[in-house]
Amino acid sequence: MNIEFRPVREEEVDDFIRAESRGFGRNATDAYLAHGNRLIEADRTLAAFEGKRLVGTSTSHTLKMTVPGGAAVPTGGIAWVTVQPTHRRRGINTGMMVQQLHRIHERGEPLAALWPSESAIYGRFGYEMAVFGERWTVERQRSALTHSPEEQGQTFFVDSWEARGIFPDVYQRVFSVRSGMVTRNDAAWDDELSGTPQGRSVAEIFYVVYELDGRIDGYVKYRIDRSQSRLIIFELVTATDEAHAALWKFCMGVDLLDTVEGNNRPVDDPLLWMLADPQRLRRESQDALWLRLVDAPVVLAQRRYAKEGKLVIEIQDTICPWNNGRFQLDGGPDGA
């Protein structure tokens, strides 16, 4: 078996999307093809070919990630990683992952990040879990908030085209102070507000914002699942405590539903402390963001530290050998 690793050409992007979809056990719909074409940067893909047959897929998105202290660090966002079931256990994924890290380094991006479909896959390539996410389910009839800021603003619905002009500003305000958040470019926002990759009708998605003194301080994107009597929050992003409380109250106040489900909630979301009956909040923890230090000295110098101090670190890295060596980290609240 002779495997060639290379980026796909523009005319091969649809084949790349179809192969990725097969790798996850589904056929690519027209909506999913459109989703992929919005997001994929062909020159950042790395696919595996056996002859002319595409047998493995991977790509990296151009991102920046906020690290402790507020710096936005260039990051390669690994995604769309699959190997065709006919070609498993042949080293294809290893070849793609190693070469992706080298390509990310060549682009001057000191971090690589991903959300794994399986936790056991990526540790051998130097990735480690960095951020937990939680799925929260609240019984709506037991969801009263008794310890929350008083709201002076108002909530109201917006259409998807209005959200496109509003949400990025709120997201950017939170991104600048929230470690672990990544940037979204125009293509990502267009995709985020166009429905879902599975082709769900935009009519099933709702957008609500919180406004105070003419400024939008938060938003929520959600849908209603009548079959299971639940409201499902896709994303709730707020720049103030008041907006956070107001949007949770809104979601919990929607009638004719039994539960409110919030996906990918941060572990320090203060909702737990605001609930009158916190025992009615069910929390399911899961690993979310995994990180790989592609250029370890650069990344460690970008972030800030709680106290002044020095630490000598010795790195042995068989995949990214430029990291090998002994380094002294001298850091504190003002820099490193």
| Least confidently predicted of 25-39, 187-201, 238-252, 281-295 | 187-201
Q: What is the pLDDT of residue 151?
A: 84
Residue 65 has pLDDT above 80, yes or no: yes
pLDDT at residue 235, rounded to an integer: 97
Architecture of domain 3-126: 3-Layer(aba) Sandwich (3.40)
Per-residue pLDDT at 198: 47
CATH superfamily, domain 134-286, is Gcn5-related N-acetyltransferase (GNAT) (3.40.630.30)
- pTM for the predicted model, two decimal places: 0.93
Structure tokens at 168: 């990025």
Look at residue 203 in the predicted model and tell me its pLDDT: 59
Task: Give 20-48 pLDDT, tens digit per residue.
Answer: 999 999 999 998 999 999 999 999 999 99
Of residues 2 and 76, the one with the higher pLDDT is 76
pLDDT in tens, 90-106: 999 999 999 999 999 99
pLDDT of residue 8: 98
* Mean pLDDT on 175-197: 89
- Domain ranges for the chain, please list them: 3-126, 134-286
pLDDT-based confidence at residue 317 (cuts at 50, 70, 90): very high
